């Protein structure tokens, strides 16, 4: 069994942003040389998400509106977590979108459906934060 590890760093310009990272994961997989296995991609921060969905700007606008409806940022005072913080909503939003994805690796490629694209979902950005890629297999 072989294993491979890589950190990807992101700093978004805005508090919330969805960043398309499929090409980064494909690069990592090529570097690993692994042909058959599983690829874990997870946010290493608890106010961010890694998820798979459509690479379509209209949908991303819908996500922003929808997540603000389910877990609004403001008023900050509505959350007990926001004594010294202002990011409780980011913890909740990330719970909806998920921390991680596990992707099959088949014949040296990410085994994704035709419209599956991997995203880093930032909900408390404007600072450097990390995503972990861990691949195991042969």
Q: Could you list the residues that contact its own copies (CB under 8 A)?
A: 1, 3, 5, 36-38, 40, 42-46, 51-54, 56-59, 61-63, 66, 70-71, 79-83, 88, 91-92, 94-104, 106, 111-116, 130, 132, 134, 136-138
What's the min distance (Å) between Cβ of 17 and its own copies?
16
Give 27 or 52: the residue with its C-beta nearer to its own copies. Answer: 52
Interior CA angle at 105 toward 49 and 2, to 5°? 100
What's the min distance (Å) between Cβ of 100 and its own copies?
6
What's the min distance (Å) between Cβ of 30 and its own copies?
18
Could you tell me which residues come within 8 angstroms of residue 4 by beta carbon, excluding any fewer than 6 positions away? Answer: 28, 31, 32, 33, 34, 133, 134, 135, 136
Nearest to 29 by CA among 135, 137, 132, 138: 135
């Amino acid at each position: 069994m072989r294993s491979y590890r890589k950190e990807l760093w992101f700093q978004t310009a805005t508090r919330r942003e969805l960043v398309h990272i499929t090409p980064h994961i494909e690069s990592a997989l090529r570097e690993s040389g692994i042909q058959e296995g599983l690829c874990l991609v997870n946010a290493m921060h608890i106010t961010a998400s890694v998820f798979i969905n459509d690479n379509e700007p209209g949908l991303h606008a819908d996500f922003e509106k929808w997540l603000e409806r389910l877990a609004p940022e403001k008023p900050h005072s509505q959350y007990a977590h926001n004594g010294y913080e202002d990011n409780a909503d980011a913890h909740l939003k990330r719970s909806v979108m998920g921390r991680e994805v596990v992707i099959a690796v088949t014949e040296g490629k990410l085994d994704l459906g035709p419209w599956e694209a991997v995203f880093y979902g930032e909900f408390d950005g404007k600072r450097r934060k990390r995503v972990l890629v861990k691949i195991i297999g042969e």
